[in-house]
Structure 1
Amino acid sequence: MANKDQLYQYNNQQRWKVFLFLFAALIAAASLFYTNYLVKSLSRSERTKAEVWAMSTRSIVTMPDVDDQFISFVYAVRDSLSIPAIITDDKENIIFWRGLDPTKTNIKEHKDSAESQKLEYDPVYFEKQLAAMKRNHPPIALHLETGEKWSVYYMDSDALRQLRIFPYLQLSLIAIFLVIAYTVFNAIKKSEQNLVWVGMAKEAAHQLGTPISSLMGWLELVRAKFDAEDDSILNEMERDVKRLEIVADRFSKIGSVPTLTNHVVYQVVQDFVQYFRIRTSEKITFEILGDKTVEAKLNVQLFDWIIENLLKNAVNAIESEGKITINIVDNIAKEEIFIDISDTGKGIPKSNFDSIFQPGFTTRKRGWGLGLSLTKRMVDYHQGQIFVKESELGKGTTFRIILKSNLRYEPTQV
């Protein structure tokens, strides 16, 4: 029941994450939709203003004899336009403009010309502005009574351009804030969880100390009473009690900095397998292959725990009869050691390759789903990696541990 409840809680947390992500996506979509609506409304308004400006400019040019008061009104309407605009004739010659850089346009007097004044402009600047306006909006066509056709080009106002990019800027800032908040929240949560784990582990080690000491004493009394110094059964019992001492010592060291020293990997693995195999079904065989000389910096007690958890998982996966193979490979080119632990068990679905290392995840009817989570953490203490190298349903699984072989290790708190 315990593991089912934990699996339910884990799945429930995943659903909440998906729900929150969808809710955030909905807010983002609503924000973009509303901003797009405002942009379209403002764009229509600016086009109307551009049309009014164009018509007022045409009125000034084509109706020179109108009443001065009306002309003043038309000028006021024309000058009210605040967006950049250009009017060209049917030969793409620029006739009028509005809202452009005044340093690029001027009026000069020409004494040697029939005209007293002439409007001049920077051709390169106007060419770029006209090209930008053509890309920005389709032109407004003006048909004159003379048969000429003018084209009015205009550009979005600064307010409209800023409004177009504002939602993306806003959502980016919100996303950055949420990522930072999520990271900080996770860090605080993990820190609190670590404190709970450390407290529980040290208390478990303390509680185990007294009965383990008593068991050692009782074994000595049994040997003395029955004169059984070399009894094989009592010797194995003593090995198990010493194993309990090692387990208690592991828990007592959680929260402290583990000491890593050079060890021959093959020898450490072989010592543990010899202890483990006689406590496993005779139908399961063990084989250790690979380099027998390569060394790595290890904390033997923690590394034994890694191998123990992986072997127990392999035994549970085999269920009845099968084989467990441990292959140690020295990858000299990358200064790494590969430790592949393979079994002939039932295999793992690919969809669970990453999930199996998460706390509380288990496919067994009984269990807490903590073994592989602790294993990954202890591999991290050795500054290594662990992952499912390959697995096939009904044929078996291979876990790979990667350790550095020739690097100096910085101590990490357990």
Structure 2
Amino acid sequence: MVNKEHLYQYNNKQRWKVLLFLFAACIAAASLFYTNHLVKSLSRSERTKAEVWAMSTKSIISMPDVDDEFISFVYAVRDSLSTPAIITDSAHNIIFWRDLDETKTNVKNQTDSAHRGLQYDPVYFQKQLEAMQENHDPISLHLETGEEWLVYYRDSDALRQLRIFPYVQLSLIAIFLIIAYTVFNSIKKSEQNLVWVGMAKEAAHQLGTPISSLMGWLELVRTKYEAQDDSILNEMERDVKRLEIVADRFSKIGSIPSLTSHVVYPVIQDYINYFKVRTSEKIQFELTGDQSLEAKINIQLFDWIIENLLKNAVNAIESEGKITVNIIDNIAKEEIFIDISDTGKGIPKSNFDTIFQPGFTTRKRGWGLGLSLTKRMVEYHQGHIFVKESEIGKGTTFRIILKSNLKYEPTEV
């Protein structure tokens, strides 16, 4: 049965992440929409400026007999409009320009303030003209002489900066949030790890005394009843020793256990021999594959990995079935494959990655930490674990990949 409470908590956590992402997306969309609205308004304003500048230039050219006061007014209006622009004739020969890079010009005969008669850098002005032609449609001016002038202009620097500002702003906010999330998440995980390490070490310490007492009581029973070779007492002793191993595991959490080279087959076989007599007789166990492959492992942690996977396999088998462990040599990549298969109820494909996340469980009782911890211990061995294949109603195969020859750099468990 599915643990509805844990599943609800997990789904609720995922739902909050989606909602926060959608909220952030709405903020970004609103910012871009408003900025785009401002850009369009300023763009219309700049086109109006370009039109006024074009008309004032036309007025200066076409009305030479107007009194000086009016001409001065027209010049004042025109020169107050700071929009980069170029006027060409119908053949696209440059006649006038304004607000371009003056260092690209070579003043030869400046006959008026509109720069008539200037010699200019042709490459620079040709590039500017092409950019303006791509930027906006030209403004057409028809002179009294019958000529047609075309006024090209481009966006001001302020407008161009405004276009990219929201993207820069959102990028900086995103970078800040990512860094902040990473830092706070790291702090949170560090605090959680300290709590778990403390609880694990305390549990190991608390288990130490009753385990020692149980060993003593077993020896007393053997001596009193002269049952040195009693099979029941021997199995009890194996269980007590197993408790010692479990306590030792918890005492080493947060430290860096050593990895040594071991043949994998007998290590797995020893645990299967211990485990199968403590499960239902309707479940069969089979260990196959290469019996000579070696890998650098920590026996206690590796046993824990196999234990978790075998327990999951047993839980997946509702009544009777079979669990197979197959050890394969991947010579090409110097790897060892350990496939653990069961004939249980299977896992939906959508949960292949989710099942390794802390808190996810489909059991009625459970914390959802088994496979998460298993994945962490496999990674400690510089290996990988994943669901190789699974089919609902037919079973599941987990694959562990270990390096057979690798220089390890252990980290904390």
Shorter-chain TM range is: over 0.9
Shift of 1:367: 1.7
Is residue 106 from structure 1 mapped to residue 106 from structure 2 by the alignment?
Answer: yes
Q: Percent identity?
A: 84
Match of 1:28 in 2: 28
Partner of 2:406: 407
Q: Where in structure 2 are the equivalents of 1:131-146 lying within 5 Å? A: 131-146=130-145
Written as runs of structure 1 = structure 2, the 5 A alignment for 1:372-387 is 372-387=371-386
Offset of 1:17 from its aligned partner? Answer: 1.2
Partner residue of 2:393? 394
Structure 1 distance, partners of 2:146, 2:204, is 100
Q: Provide the rounded CA distance (Å) in 2 between the counterparts of 1:119 and 1:212.
A: 100
Secondary structure of the structure 2 residue equivalent to 1:108: coil
| Contact 1:322–1:344 (Cα < 8 Å) also in 2 | yes
Give the Cα separation in 2 of the matches to 1:77 and 1:105: 24
Query: 1:402 aligns to what SS in structure 2?
Result: strand
Partner of 1:185: 184
AA paired with 2:38?
A: L
After superposition, the CA RMSD in angstroms is 1.6
Secondary structure of 1:186's counterpart equals: helix
Aligned residue identity for 1:39:
V
Whole-angstrom distance in 2 between the partners of 1:301 and 1:35: 60
Q: Return the alpha-carbon distance in structure 2 between the equivalents of residues 348 and 185 of structure 1.
A: 33
Q: How much has 1:306 moved relative to structure 2?
A: 0.4
Alignment of 1:138-157 (within 5 A): 138-157=137-156
> Is 98-107 or 168-177 further displaced after alignment?
98-107
* 1:2/1:368 contact within 8 Å kept: no
Q: Which runs of 4+ in 1 moved over 4 A?
A: none
- Structure 2 match to 1:237: 236
1-side partners of 2:332 and 2:179: how far apart?
38
Alignment of 1:240-319 (within 5 A): 240-319=239-318
Matched ranges for 1:314-329 at <5 A: 314-329=313-328
Aligned to 1:58: 58
Letter in structure 2 aligned against 1:105: T
CA distance in 1, matches of 2:181, 2:2: 28
Which residue identity is paired with 2:81?
Answer: L
Which 5+ residue runs of structure 2 have no aligned equivalent?
111-115
Q: Greater shift after overlay, 273-282 or 304-313?
A: 273-282
Show CA shifts across 1:59-114 (max 9, x none): 0110000011000111111112212101111121211111112232234259xxxx
1:227 match: 226
Report if aligned partners of 1:130, 1:153 keep a CA contact under 8 Å in 2. yes
Taking the aligned partners of 1:129 and 1:9, their CA distance within structure 2 comes to 60
Q: Offset at 1:9?
A: 2.3
Q: What's the CA shift for 1:340?
A: 0.9
Moved more, 27-36 or 278-287: 278-287
Q: Matched residues in 1 for 2:254 and 2:106: separation?
A: 77
Question: d(CA) in 1 for partners of 2:181 and 2:109?
Answer: 67
| Equivalent in the alignment of 1:113 | none
Partner of 1:114: none
SS of the residue 2:108 aligns to: strand
* Counterpart Cα distance in 2 of 1:140 and 1:289: 83
Name the SS of the counterpart of 2:364 in structure 1: coil
Question: Post-superposition shift, 1:403?
Answer: 1.1
Aligned partners of 2:373 and 2:342: how far apart in 1? 20
Taking structure 1 as the reference length, the TM-score comes to 0.95
Q: Give the 3-state SS of the residue equivalent to 1:189 in structure 2.
A: helix
TM-score by length of 2: 0.96
Residue 91 of structure 1 aligns with which residue?
Answer: 91
3-state SS of paired residue (1:91): coil
More off after superposition, 374-383 vs 26-35 = 374-383
- 1:201–1:3 distance in 2 versus 1, CA, 3 Å: farther
Are 1:359 and 2:366 matched, yes or no? no
CA–CA separation in structure 2 for the residues paired with 1:109 and 1:56: 22
SS in 2 for 1:248: helix
2:113 — aligned with what?
A: none
Moved more, 264-273 or 217-226: 217-226
SS in 2 for 1:313: helix
Question: Structure 1 CA distance, aligned partners of 2:318 and 2:253?
Answer: 32
